[in-house]
Amino acid sequence: MIRFHKEGYKIISITFIIAIVVILLAENFIDINWLIKTIQVLVLGFVIIVLQFFRNPERITSLNDHQIIAPVDGKVVVIEEVEEPEYFKDKRLQISIFMSPINVHVTRYAMSGIIKYSKYHPGKYLVAWHPKASTENERTTVVIENKTIGEVLYRQIAGALAKRIINYAKEDDQVVQGTDAGFIKFGSRVDLYLPLGTKINVKLGDKVKGGVQVVAEI
């Protein structure tokens, strides 16, 4: 059974209403049969695109306090040692995962622990792979801490099409690895900032599966 994320319920409902109205108007006010069929196909295609974007497949996470899982589906576009300026203000290992509009856009907690920091930043809508996207785009920054790995930061970053980031993380919440942490609407990216010395299990260009694939471990 296909599941859809709760953040899409309103948009999906509106999409179905618009689709029905357009189809009925076409059938009642257009006399050209091929044009009616074309409109119906286009409307159906639009509905399918909206449905696939908000799909929320069930993922079974093997809980492990030594492992960090992919928080989202997508392609690994950055693996490097960087200075993290907002929270740590020191060197960290960064893994960035880019999500295209056809990827599942549910954000999942990369590890279990306590939310130590959660902050929303308004900003620009540069393309998600732009080097300045992580500091200038609309974004949320969340830090999770557990006793095994310590503190790990993840950042949801809006892309050129994404106009709303949903973040469920609240400071002092106890969260479970692999559970729903939020949603980003239409094309985006998530950055992970890990302690130096963390073993990275992915390479540039890898396609990862959120909630199940181990991207790093201690």
CB 73 within 8 Å of CB 59:
no
Nearest to 119 by CA among 72, 76, 154: 154
Q: Which residues are catalytic?
A: 188
Task: Express each pLDDT in 13-53 by its tens digit.
Answer: 999 999 999 999 999 999 999 999 999 999 999 999 889 88
Segment 198-215 shows an average pLDDT of 97
pLDDT band at 138 (very low <50, low <70, confident <90, very high): confident
Q: Which of 8-22, 72-86, 178-192 has the lowest mean pLDDT?
A: 178-192
Q: What is the pTM of this model?
A: 0.86
Q: Is pLDDT of 123 > 80?
A: no
**What are the CA-CA distances from residue 208 to residues 26, 69, 151, 201, 204 (Å)?**
42, 9, 22, 11, 11
Report the alpha-carbon distance of residue 163 to residue 142 in Å, rounded.
19
Report the alpha-carbon distance of residue 153 to residue 192 in Å, rounded.
6
Tokens of 134: 């992580």
pLDDT band at 122 (very low <50, low <70, confident <90, very high): confident
Report the alpha-carbon distance of residue 13 to residue 11 in Å, rounded.
5
- Quick one: pLDDT at residue 135? 65
- Quick one: pLDDT at residue 187? 62
Averaged pLDDT of the chain: 91
More confident residue, 72 or 189: 72
